[in-house]
């Protein structure tokens, strides 16, 4: 058991954010750019180094009009129940219920992060982006656009973020890490994206830092960063299977937006994940 923390912070400037941490036996962590994680045997890894995206199909059943990889399967295949990220052998469900969401979300893209030592790549985690499929109907302006055009159009990703429909990023660790290191990496990526943080923003980040400290997160831990709307961020974590409840709730538009931008903004720290999502969008928007 990782332990529990119960904290309540309410501040009222600007965005009137409030943070409520819900005590559970599991805890939360997230990631950032150009930060170092200690690994077993004395190694370190940079969380967000660029790396290619690959995925394969694992098991099949029919789920019409939801996932882009159905269109890339052979004519004899049906939609995949799981997508396997082959570099890490991590499997992502093609659709799932995420804590705090009212509808099932669909998988739109996957990727992985690694650090290369000489000629050896050390992988840190795999990640997959899930969306409420109703978001697709709000992206008709981009119908028929290529993957490259979609990937380079920041307004599309801003439109996705600004919808009131749910978005969620699942991170699955492929290495043991500690909560402090994960938080430091996340903070390093978010901070430059908030040009003039308010007292509320700083309080929100401080509270999350306190929540993450002294956590030990094992290989296989699943972390969901979920945006139910543009001003709210939900965090759920489980070391065994999918989480069943929300571990932390934050209401701060600046921080929620900055975290989404970390992965899908113009200067994404995970270009392979963004490229995969762009490919997925180009196929569902045909």
Residue 61 within a domain: no
Residue 68 within a domain: no
Full-prediction pTM beyond 0.75?
Answer: no
Residue 11 within a domain: no
Task: Please count the other Cβ atoms lying within 10 Å of the Cβ belonging to residue 129.
Answer: 26
Domain range spanning residue 169?
82-133+163-263
CATH number reported for the structural domain that contains residue 248 in this entry: 3.50.70.10
Answer yes or no: are the C-beta atoms of 127 and 273 closer than 8 Å: yes
Residue 32 within a domain: no
Residue 118 within a domain: yes
Number of H helices and number of E strands within the chain?
Answer: 7, 16
CA geometry: angle at 79 spanning 64 and 87, to 5°? 140
Q: For residue 145, what are its two tokens?
A: 């656009």
Residue 177 within a domain: yes
Residue 218 is given by DSSP the state: -
Residue 124 within a domain: yes
User: Rounded CA gap, 269 and 189, in Å?
Assistant: 8
Per-residue pLDDT of the chain (286 residues; tens, 9 = 90+): 444 433 333 333 333 343 444 444 343 333 333 333 333 333 433 343 333 333 333 333 334 344 443 343 333 233 459 998 877 889 999 999 999 999 999 999 998 876 655 666 677 788 999 999 999 999 999 999 999 999 999 999 999 999 999 999 999 998 888 888 778 878 888 999 998 999 889 888 887 887 777 777 899 999 999 999 999 999 999 998 899 999 888 889 999 999 999 999 998 877 889 999 999 999 999 8
Q: How many domains does the chain have?
A: 1
Residue 56 Rama label (left phi>0; alpha psi -120 to 50; beta):
beta
Helix (H) or strand (E) holding 200: helix 199-212
């Amino acid at each position: 058991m990782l332990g529990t923390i119960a904290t309540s912070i309410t501040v009222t400037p600007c965005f009137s954010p409030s943070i409520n941490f819900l005590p559970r036996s599991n805890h939360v962590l997230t990631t950032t750019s150009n930060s170092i994680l200690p690994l077993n045997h004395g190694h370190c890894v940079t969380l967000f180094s660029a790396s290619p995206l690959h995925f394969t199909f694992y098991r099949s059943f029919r789920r019409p009009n939801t996932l882009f990889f159905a269109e890339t399967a052979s004519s004899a295949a049906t939609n995949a129940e799981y997508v396997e990220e082959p570099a890490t052998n991590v499997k992502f469900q093609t659709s799932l219920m995420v804590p705090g969401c009212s509808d099932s979300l669909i998988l739109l893209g996957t990727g992985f992060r690694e650090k290369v030592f000489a000629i050896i790549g050390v992988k840190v985690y795999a990640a997959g982006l899930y969306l409420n499929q109703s978001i697709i109907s709000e992206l008709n302006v981009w119908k028929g656009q290529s993957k490259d055009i979609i990937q380079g159009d920041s307004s599309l990703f801003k439109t996705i973020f600004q919808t009131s429909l749910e978005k969620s990023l699942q991170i699955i660790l492929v290495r043991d890490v500690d909560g402090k290191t994960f938080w430091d990496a996340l903070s390093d990526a978010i901070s430059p994206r908030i040009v003039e943080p308010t007292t509320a923003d700083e309080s929100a980040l401080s509270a999350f830092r306190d929540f993450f400290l002294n956590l030990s997160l094992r290989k296989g831990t699943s972390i969901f960063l979920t945006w139910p709307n543009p001003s709210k961020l939900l965090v759920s974590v489980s070391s065994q299977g999918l989480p069943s409840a929300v571990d932390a709730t934050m209401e701060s538009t600046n921080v929620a937006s900055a975290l989404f931008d970390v992965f899908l903004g113009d200067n994404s720290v995970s270009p392979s994940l963004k490229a995969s999502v762009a490919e997925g969008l180009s196929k569902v928007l045909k």
